[in-house]
Amino acid sequence: MVDGAAAIARGALDAGCNFYAGYPITPASGILAHMLRELPKVGGIGFQGEDEISSIGHCIGAASAGATVFTATSGPGLSLYSENIGLAIMMEIPLVIAISQRLGPSTGAATASAQGDIQFMRWCTSGGYPVIVLAPTNIPESYHLTKRAFKLAKRFRNPVFIATDKDTVMTTESVPVDEMINAPDWPEIPTEPVGKPLDPYQINGTIHHYTGSSHTEEGYITKDPDIIAQFNERLKNKIESHIDEISLVKADLQEGADTLIISYGVSARSMEAVVIQLRSQGEKVSALTVYSLWPIPEKKIQDCLRGIKRIIIPEMNHGQYRHEIERLVNRDIELIGVNRVDTILITPEEIMETYHG
């Protein structure tokens, strides 16, 4: 018996996390509690900051000194994280952030699930530079995708988000032990960093020099347009040139199907239940679970569109990911959203009704 908060915390610890800083916020406080309790047992540091801004600042400082860092919050906390996320991108800091989504805006419904921060995670900071966002659908995936997030953060020296939600984090379920022990059959993440070494900038071989301003390879602030352009292009391309490596989906395709259901996170669980029921009734339907929401796994999504005339996309927002799918499909494919923003999870029955609609 385990909940998503414990699974995420165990994933972080098993990935080598030795520093956590965070501030209590529903529904992410369970992750904070686990990390504060467990990190000292393995010689790590668990730290509750005075607020979200200081917490992510502590993480960046610890990472710049060589720690493997982790933090967790919800939508309002991500608002406060945003400036320092930009700093982490500019400083090329490996940083893993779990976002336990709740219904907004503002305080919203603090104890209710939502998937309203999908676009926010991608565009939460100035400049528009890419981040990586992974979305588990259940407790075992929460564990394994958290471990994967740490590998990606180290490889790309960049913030990596775990996009989860209140129900996944706070619901206790019975999970087969082998699903936690045995990793899914996902492609391995190479261990070597992309581009230049992960070591901090060194001045005269002794002083570590970091800055959030545009800078040279030695860490000195510069106004040279050519150097700035080259640096910013590298920040963008180190992720966007490796989309195929980052992309992670689960395609459950059925030959002859003309309907594809695409979902992610907790909503994908209802999608899976619907697919089983429809196939038991003799219906032909395909399903696609997206684990790597950002950067968008365009090729893997397009590979699932052969013969498809209709796409149904259940998500607990007003259609944030549906807008991204629209860019990838031709006009002959009908896109239909199944959306809720009223604190209630999308049910299999709602997806079924849309399918037969």
- Region 119-129 average pLDDT: 96
Q: Could you tell me if 292 and 247 are in contact, meaning their C-beta atoms sit under 8 angstroms apart? A: yes
pLDDT band at 198 (very low <50, low <70, confident <90, very high): very low
How many CB atoms within 10 Å of residue 38?
18
Ordered by start, the domain boundaries in the chain are: 2-181, 250-356
d(CA 74, CA 193): 29
Pairing type for strands 69-73 and 334-339 reads unpaired
Q: Does pLDDT of 207 surpass 90?
A: no
d(CA 71, CA 189): 22
- Region 214-219 average pLDDT: 84
- Region 310-328 average pLDDT: 97
Looking at residue 219, its pLDDT comes to: 80
Looking at residue 205, its pLDDT comes to: 59
Per-residue tokens: 326: 């629209």
pLDDT band at 216 (very low <50, low <70, confident <90, very high): confident
Domain 250-356: which CATH class?
alpha beta
Instruction: State pLDDT tens for residues 270-309.
Output: 999 999 999 999 999 999 999 999 999 999 999 999 999 9
Q: Which of 89, 82, 91, 88 is nearest to 99 (CA)?
A: 82
* Fold (CATH) for 2-181: Rossmann fold (3.40.50)
Q: Could you tell me if 328 and 301 are in contact, meaning their C-beta atoms sit under 8 angstroms apart? A: yes
What is the percent of the chain where pLDDT is above 70? 96
Which helix (DSSP H) or strand (DSSP E) does residue 298 occupy?
A: helix 298-302
Mean of pLDDT over the chain: 94
> Do 2-181 and 250-356 agree at the fold level?
yes
For residue 12, CA distances in Å to 98, 218, 357 come to: 10, 31, 43
Calculated CA dihedral for residues 120, 125, 131, 134, nearest 10 degrees:
-30
Q: Could you tell me if 18 and 28 are in contact, meaning their C-beta atoms sit under 8 angstroms apart? A: no
Q: Does pLDDT of 196 surpass 70?
A: no
Looking at residue 283, its pLDDT comes to: 97
